[in-house]
C-alpha cells in the first residue's frame, strides 16, 4: 500500500491533490491513501469562516467547499485530523468522526479506523495544560476565548486512546510529542527555527499528551505538522523494543516539504475506510462520562469491560458492515457567484452521520447539550477573572509561528514584527520544566540522526551529516549568529520563500549567483559589488539574477541586527534555501563569512567554467578551488534548475544559408535539438532563454542526470560528463539514485560555500551589499 502524508493543509486541497496526481504520473505508481496532519480547514460556507481561528484578514474560503458541494471529488481516499486552525463548528458536528465530504474522512477529536488491514489512529488539536483536564464546555457560536480553547486537547480523548491495546500502524497528531527533538537532529532544527531554542531547552516544545500516547501505543509510524518545518526522528522503546519513525511535515506552499510518500506492506486491495471494532467498544464504554462542562472529568464510573462491548459490537457490525455512514450535507454550500449573508444560515444542526453512529452504539446524542447553570463557574470567562490563565498565550509560540509564515513580503514592517516577536518572547513568564514522560528512558538510534524511511521519498529529502572542516572553513561555525542575531537564517529563508512563491525562477538564479561568487575571489559577495570594472561588468555575469532577493534580506537584517550578518553569508544561505524551496535536500552550512572589498572584471573569465569546457578543463578549474572530480559531477547537478540564454549553447548548432540552424554536435539527442532550435532560432533575441532541464525545470531533483543518459544535456560541458570514463559511472549512479545525489550534493555544497572564505579580521561586514563601507 502506498500512502501519502501531508502536513498542514490550510484548505488548499486542489494543490495537494494535483501534486499527488503529478507524482503518480511521473513515477508510474498509484497512491492508495492521503493522510493529513491537521489545519485542514474544512470550510463549507461564510458562516464556517466565523469559527475559524485565524486573523480576519487571512480568512479565506480556499478550496474545500468545492469538495463539500460535489463540484470536485477527492481523487484519493483522504483521512485528516484537526489542528488549531479549523472550522470548529463543523468539527464539533463530527466529534466522533465521519465524512467531511465525499471520500474525505475526519478522524474525530480522537479516533481509530482501518484502511484495509492498516490501523490508523489520531488525536486532533494541540496541547494546552490549562484546558487539558477540563471537559468540552465550548459550544458554537464561539466567543473570542472559546474559539481558541475548543481546539485544545482534552484528557478525556487522550484517556480513550490510552485504552487501545491492539497495534496501531500509523498515528497522527497535529503538534509534536514533547521531547521528540531528543531523537532527531535538534541542533539543525534550532538553526532553521532559532525561536524554538527556549522551548527545546526547557523541554516544553510539543504535547505532553502526545508523548504519553507515543510511549503507550509505540506505532511504527507517527506523523505530525503544526510547526511548519520538516523534522524526523527515530525512537526505540526500550532496549531491543519496537521502533517508531517520527516525521513532521511543513505546510502546503511551493518548494516546502509538505508531502511524504511511503510504502507499507498490506493485504491486496481494493482498500476502504472502515470502523475499528476496538475503538467503537472504547467509545461505548467511555460515553457515560463524556465531559460537557468546564469540570474535570471523573473516570471513576467508567465501565472498562471493553471486551464485553466488543462481543456485542461484533454482531452489530456483522449485520450492517463496518463502512462508515454515508456523507450528508448539513448546511448550504458556499456559492462564489452570489453573496450569502451569515444570517441565511440558522442554528447548528445535528449531523446525520453522528446521529447514526451513536444509534449504532445505542448511545445518547450529547453534543448539543448545554452546561447546567451550576456549571457557570467553570466558564472560560470565570477562569480569566480569577487569573488562572490567559487565552492570549500558548505554552509555546504556536500562533507566532503561523503569523510569521503568513508574511508574504520582507520589508521594514516585517523587520519591526521580528523585533516585536523576540521582545515578546523575552517577556514570557517562565514555564514549568517538563520531563519526558517515559517510564523507561527512550533511547535514540543512529546517534540522533534522522530516520531514513524505507519508502519512496518525493519533493524534499532532509540530508544531515558531519564533515571534517576543510582549512578554508575552519573558522566558520554552525551557530555563528546564535547570540548576535538568532533569527538571521530564518529571515534569509523567509525572504527566499517569499520571492520563490512569486517567481519560480528565483531558486535557479540564486544558485547560479553563488557559483559565480565563490569561484571568483572566494565566497565573499564580491559579485554583488557595483561599479565600473567590477565582476558584474564582465559579460559572463551580466545575465546573473537574484540580486534583489539578497538586497531584501540584507535590508531587513540591517534593521534588526545592523552590521552583523555579512552579504557573503546571505548569498550562501539563500542558495542553500533556494535548493530546498525547489524540492532539494535541506542541509546545514556553517556561517561567519566576511565580505570582500575587491571586485574586478578581469578576475572573472580565468575562474568561471565555460559551457564548451572539456572534463579536463573543468577538472583543472575545480581542482584549483579545492574541489574534486566527484564534486564536479555533483555540483553540475545544479543545472537541474535554472535557465540559459541561447548563446550559451549555440556552439552545438550551425547557421545554414537559408537562415535556419542545423545540429553539428552528434552527442545531442536529435529530437531535443529540434526543440531547442524552435526555441532559439538563428539570430534569436539575446533575451531569449531555455530551461536547463526540459523535463522538471523548476524542481531540484536528479532529472539532470537522467537527461544526460538520454543525451539531453543542454551544454557541451554537460554532455562530456557522460562521454568521459572518469565521470560516466557517477552520472549513471545519480540518474538511478536521487537520495544518493542529494547526499553527495550536501557534501559538495558545503565545500563550494567554503572556498577561500574570509573570516576574522579579513574583509568587512557591508552595510549595503552593492557597495563597500568606505
Contact 82, 125 (CB under 8 A): yes
> Which of the following is catalytic: 512, 536, 576, 706?
512
Grouping H, G, I as helix, E, B as strand and the rest as coil, residue 481 is coil
> HSE on the CB side for 656, CA within 13 Å?
8
DSSP conformation letters of 336-391 = TTS---GGGS-S-PPPHHHHHHHHHTT----TTPPPPGGGGGGSHHHHHHTTS--T
C-alpha 699/C-alpha 584 separation (Å) is 8
Contact 115, 324 (CB under 8 A): no
4: alpha, beta or left, given left = phi > 0 and alpha = psi -120 to 50?
beta
Residue 171, H or E segment? strand 170-173
C-alpha 146/C-alpha 152 separation (Å) is 10
C-alpha 85/C-alpha 576 separation (Å) is 31
Strand positions, DSSP E, 57-166: 78-80, 98-101, 104-106, 110-115, 118-123
Cα torsion 173, 175, 179, 184: sign: positive
> Which of the following is catalytic: 85, 96, 152, 516?
516
Q: Is residue 350 annotated as a catalytic residue, yes or no?
A: no
Grouping H, G, I as helix, E, B as strand and the rest as coil, residue 677 is helix
The one-character DSSP state at 220 is S
Residue among 247, 226, 253 at smallest CA distance from 399: 226
Q: Is residue 541 annotated as a catalytic residue, yes or no?
A: yes
CA distances from 648 to 480, 535, 661 (A): 39, 19, 15
Q: In this structure, what are the phi and psi dihedrals at residue 390, rounded to the nearest 5 degrees?
A: -120, 130
C-alpha 369/C-alpha 750 separation (Å) is 61
Residue 91, H or E segment? helix 88-93
Contact 176, 200 (CB under 8 A): no
DSSP conformation letters of 634-676 = HHGGGGGS-EEEGGGSGGGEEE-TTS-EEE--TTS-HHHHHHH
Q: Is residue 512 annotated as a catalytic residue, yes or no?
A: yes
Contact 667, 711 (CB under 8 A): yes
Beta bridge partners, 36, equal 6, 80
Range 198-203, long-range pairs (CB < 8 A, 24+ positions): 198/425, 199/396, 199/397, 202/430, 202/431, 202/433, 202/434, 203/178, 203/179, 203/433, 203/434, 203/435, 203/436
C-alpha 425/C-alpha 427 separation (Å) is 5
C-alpha 23/C-alpha 258 separation (Å) is 14
Residue among 413, 426, 558, 543 at smallest CA distance from 488: 558
3-state secondary structure 2-46: EEEEECECCCCHHHHHHHHHHHHHHHCCCCCEEEECCCCCCCCCH
Q: Kindly state the cell numbers that stand for 122.
A: 489520531
Contact 510, 574 (CB under 8 A): yes
**Maximum separation of any 2 CA atoms in the chain, in Å:** 96
136: alpha, beta or left, given left = phi > 0 and alpha = psi -120 to 50?
beta
C-alpha 123/C-alpha 405 separation (Å) is 24
Which residues are identified as catalytic? 512, 516, 541, 639
Amino acid at each position: 500500500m502506498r500512502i501519502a502524508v501531508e502536513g498542514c493543509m490550510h484548505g488548499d486541497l486542489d494543490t495537494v491533490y494535483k501534486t499527488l496526481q503529478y507524482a503518480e504520473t511521473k513515477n508510474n505508481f498509484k497512491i492508495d491513501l492521503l493522510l493529513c496532519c491537521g489545519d485542514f480547514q474544512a470550510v463549507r460556507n461564510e458562516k464556517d469562516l466565523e469559527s475559524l481561528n485565524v486573523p480576519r484578514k487571512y480568512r479565506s474560503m480556499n478550496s474545500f467547499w468545492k469538495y463539500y458541494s460535489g463540484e470536485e471529488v477527492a481523487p484519493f481516499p483522504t483521512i485528516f485530523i484537526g489542528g488549531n486552525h479549523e472550522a470548529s463548528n463543523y468539527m464539533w458536528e463530527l466529534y466522533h468522526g465521519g465524512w467531511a465530504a465525499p471520500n474525505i474522512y475526519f478522524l474525530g477529536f480522537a479516533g481509530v479506523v482501518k484502511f484495509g488491514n492498516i490501523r490508523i489512529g489520531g488525536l486532533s488539536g494541540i496541547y494546552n495544560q490549562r484546558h487539558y483536564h477540563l471537559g468540552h464546555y465550548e459550544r458554537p457560536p464561539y466567543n473570542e476565548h472559546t474559539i481558541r480553547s475548543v481546539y485544545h486537547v482534552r484528557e478525556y480523548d487522550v484517556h480513550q486512546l490510552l485504552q487501545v491495546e491492539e497495534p496501531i500502524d500509523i498515528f497522527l497528531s497535529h503538534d509534536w510529542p514533547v521531547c521528540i527533538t531528543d531523537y532527531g537532529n535538534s541542533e539543525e532544527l534550532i538553526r532553521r527555527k532559532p525561536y524554538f531554542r527556549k522551548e527545546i531547552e526547557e523541554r516544553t516544545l510539543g504535547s505532553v499528551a502526545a508523548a504519553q500516547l507515543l510511549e503507550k501505543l509505540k506505532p511504527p509510524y507517527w506523523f505530525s505538522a503544526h510547526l511548519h518545518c520538516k523534522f524526523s526522528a527515530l525512537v526505540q522503546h526500550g532496549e531491543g523494543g519496537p521502533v517508531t519513525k517520527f516525521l513532521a511535515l511543513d505546510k502546503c506552499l511551493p518548494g516546502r516539504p509538505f508531502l511524504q510518500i511511503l510504502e507499507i506492506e498490506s493485504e491486496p486491495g481494493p482498500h476502504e475506510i472502515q470502523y475499528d471494532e476496538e475503538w467503537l467498544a472504547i467509545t461505548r464504554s467511555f460515553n457515560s462520562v463524556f465531559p460537557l462542562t468546564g469540570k474535570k472529568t471523573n473516570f471513576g464510573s467508567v465501565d472498562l469491560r471493553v471486551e464485553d462491548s466488543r462481543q456485542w459490537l461484533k454482531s452489530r457490525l456483522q449485520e450492517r458492515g463496518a463502512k462508515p455512514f454515508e456523507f450528508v450535507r448539513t448546511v448550504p454550500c458556499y456559492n462564489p457567484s452570489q453573496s450569502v449573508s451569515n444570517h441565511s444560515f440558522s442554528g447548528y444542526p445535528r449531523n446525520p452521520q453522528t446521529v447514526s453512529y451513536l444509534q449504532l452504539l445505542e448511545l445518547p446524542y450529547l453534543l448539543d447539550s448545554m452546561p447546567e447553570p451550576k456549571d457557570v463557574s467553570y466558564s472560560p470567562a470565570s477562569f480569566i477573572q480569577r487569573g488562572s490563565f490567559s487565552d492570549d498565550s500558548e505554552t509555546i509560540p504556536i500562533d507566532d509561528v503561523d503569523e510569521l509564515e503568513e508574511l508574504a513580503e520582507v520589508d521594514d514592517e516585517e523587520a519591526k514584527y521580528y523585533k516585536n516577536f523576540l521582545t515578546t518572547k523575552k517577556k514570557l513568564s517562565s514555564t514549568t520544566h517538563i520531563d519526558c514522560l517515559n517510564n523507561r528512558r527512550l533511547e535514540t538510534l543512529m546517534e540522533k540522526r534522522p530516520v531514513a524511511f524505507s519508502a519512496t521519498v518525493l519533493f524534499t529529502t532532509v540530508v544531515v551529516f558531519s564533515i571534517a572542516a576543510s582549512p578554508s572553513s575552519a573558522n566558520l561555525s554552525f551557530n555563528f549568529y546564535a547570540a548576535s542575531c538568532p533569527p538571521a537564517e530564518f529571515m534569509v529563508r523567509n525572504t527566499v520563500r517569499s520571492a520563490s512563491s512569486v517567481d519560480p525562477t528565483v531558486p535557479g538564479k540564486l544558485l547560479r549567483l553563488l557559483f559565480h561568487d565563490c569561484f571568483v575571489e572566494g565566497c565573499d559577495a564580491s559579485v554583488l559589488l557595483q561599479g565600473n570594472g567590477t565582476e558584474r561588468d564582465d559579460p559572463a555575469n551580466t545575465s546573473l539574477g537574484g540580486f534583489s532577493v539578497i538586497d531584501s534580506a540584507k535590508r531587513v537584517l540591517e534593521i534588526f541586527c545592523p552590521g552583523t550578518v555579512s552579504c557573503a553569508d546571505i548569498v550562501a544561505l539563500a542558495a542553500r534555501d533556494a535548493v530546498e524551496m525547489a524540492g532539494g535536500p535541506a542541509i546545514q552550512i556553517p556561517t561567519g563569512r566576511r565580505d570582500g572589498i575587491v571586485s574586478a572584471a578581469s578576475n572573472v573569465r580565468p575562474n568561471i567554467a565555460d559551457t564548451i569546457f572539456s572534463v579536463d578543463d573543468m577538472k583543472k578549474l575545480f581542482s584549483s578551488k579545492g574541489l574534486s572530480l566527484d564534486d564536479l559531477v555533483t555540483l553540475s547537478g545544479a543545472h537541474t534548475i535554472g535557465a540559459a540564454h541561447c548563446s550559451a549553447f549555440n556552439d552545438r548548432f550551425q547557421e545554414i544559408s537559408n537562415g535556419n540552424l542545423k545540429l553539428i554536435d552528434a552527442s545531442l539527442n536529435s529530437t531535443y535539438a529540434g526543440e531547442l532550435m524552435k526555441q532559439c532560432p538563428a539570430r534569436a533575441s539575446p533575451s531569449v532563454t531555455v530551461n536547463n532541464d526540459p523535463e522538471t525545470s523548476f524542481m531540484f531533483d536528479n532529472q539532470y542526470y537522467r537527461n544526460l543518459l538520454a543525451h539531453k544535456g543542454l551544454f557541451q560541458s554537460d554532455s562530456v560528463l557522460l562521454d568521459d570514463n572518469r565521470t560516466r559511472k557517477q552520472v549513471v549512479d545519480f540518474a538511478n539514485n536521487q537520495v544518493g545525489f542529494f547526499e553527495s550534493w550536501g557534501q559538495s555544497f558545503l565545500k563550494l560555500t567554503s572556498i577561500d572564505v574570509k573570516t576574522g579580521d579579513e574583509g568587512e561586514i557591508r552595510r549595503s551589499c552593492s557597495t563597500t563601507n568606505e
